[in-house]
Amino acid sequence: MKKQEWNEEQLEQLFQQLPPIKDKRTAEDLYKRIQQTQQGKNRPWIKPAIASVAALLLFAMISPHFYQKFTSSEESTMDMASSSEKIEHESSNETKMEESKFAQESSIEQQAFDDSVNEQETFVTSSNKAEETVTVGFTDSQAQNILPISLKADKRQEKLAQLEKVNPNDYSEQLGPITYELMNTDFIHAENPEEIAISYKGEPNFQSTANEELYQNAIIETLRWYDYKSAKLFSDEKEGIYFSQTGLKKELVVRKESKKAYFLYQYDEQTRKLLVPSPTHYDSIDLAIKAMKQGMEERKLKPTIRNNISIIKTKNSGKQLVVEFDKTANFQNNEQTIIMLESILLTAKEFGYQTVRFNGMNLDKVGIMDVTKPIEVPFSPNPIDDEN
């Protein structure tokens, strides 16, 4: 505790607080006292000494009371300051704890969202789920690519009826902006089970080569996942659909094996990654795999095979394709490897293969695939949940 210092003003205030003193001496006593004082003039140091002693005695009497008073006041002030600091410190700690908890929860939620959007175990529908699947060809926002999407079949209605009721708006949150070229189209069974009749009911919108190709490609990309080999075209209950660039067309050939390569499409980072067939055909699977390392930037189709992955050779073994990787390649069981292998499986199906064996891998399992054995090609790409 800091020592209390007294100035003249404080001493004066202290003296004023002393009780009054009444002099009870008689006149004779005072006369004698004066004579004694006159006799002591030759000792000038006595008066100051007496005054100093009196002041010291007085100070000794009153100082404990005031010292205690001022000490109590200072201690109270310090206690209040200390309490305030303690409250502020506790409040600050609580705020920091709340902020930390919120940040942690946000991080967990964001990680969960990232995992649900970006991490998938598979991008294909297996062949044993063919009867449970309806595959639809949507068109991307730039009207450049047909996006094959596999939906869960409704057991209460046949697949053709379900194709007629597809609404692209139901899937835009997962896929980004898309359109469905076949919204104004009826699918009708023909006498030949390998044929199907297509009746266009909408207003003519085939005024450009791009529009014509989109509509025709949407028909082929939707129907080729089924057992049809041709589509008969009708419009206004008349045979054929008139296209401004190519004239009247009465039939489209539907091929399951279109000799296409598969690339990666994603509208943005919040939407799903999709395996999408190329718009072009390739003469061999080796050329298709080579293209899959490069992508098609002009169509926003990304590579599905990394350039640093060396495929030494592919070998035709009947209906099985053998893909030989360089043994120095280090594969990981992650999404990137899943996309690579499943895009090769889909491409192999385009060339008529039924199974694929991957040799030279340092893993036994990738996603849901056992890569130690030949893998059956999938039924279709891009299974998504039908929320309706």
Average pLDDT over residues 342-347: 97
Residue 56 has pLDDT above 60, yes or no: no
- Tell me: the pLDDT tens digits for 109-156? 444 334 444 478 999 999 999 999 999 999 998 889 999 999 999 887
Average pLDDT over residues 93-97: 57
The pLDDT, as a whole number, for residue 113 is 37
Neighbours of 213 (CB within 10 A): 17
- Tell me: the pLDDT tens digits for 248-271? 899 999 988 889 999 999 999 999
Residue the block writes with tokens 């649900």: 116
Residue 351 has pLDDT above 70, yes or no: yes
The pLDDT, as a whole number, for residue 59 is 53
Residue 333 has pLDDT above 70, yes or no: yes
The pLDDT, as a whole number, for residue 53 is 47
Cα atoms in the 13 Å half-sphere on the side-chain side of 271: 17
pTM (predicted TM-score): 0.68
| 218-to-43, 143, 165, 228, 270 alpha-carbon distances in Å | 131, 11, 15, 14, 25
Residue 79 has pLDDT above 60, yes or no: no
Residue 185 has pLDDT above 50, yes or no: yes
Lowest mean pLDDT: which of 130-139, 154-163, 170-179, 191-200?
154-163
132 vs 75, residue with greater confidence: 132
Lowest mean pLDDT: which of 82-96, 158-172, 204-218, 236-250?
82-96
Q: Is 301 helix (H, G, I), strand (E, B) or coil?
A: strand
Q: Which of 73-82, 295-304, 316-325 has the highest mean pLDDT?
A: 295-304
User: How confident is the prediction for the chain on average, in pLDDT?
Assistant: 79
Dist CA 288 CA 48 (whole Å): 119
Residue 2 has pLDDT above 90, yes or no: no
244 vs 165, residue with greater confidence: 165
Average pLDDT over residues 34-58: 52
Cα atoms in the 13 Å half-sphere on the side-chain side of 225: 31
Q: Could you tell me the pLDDT band of residue 85, with boundaries at 50, 70 and 90?
A: low
Q: Could you tell me the pLDDT band of residue 16, with boundaries at 50, 70 and 90?
A: low
Neighbours of 34 (CB within 10 A): 10
Q: Could you tell me the pLDDT band of residue 334, with boundaries at 50, 70 and 90?
A: very high
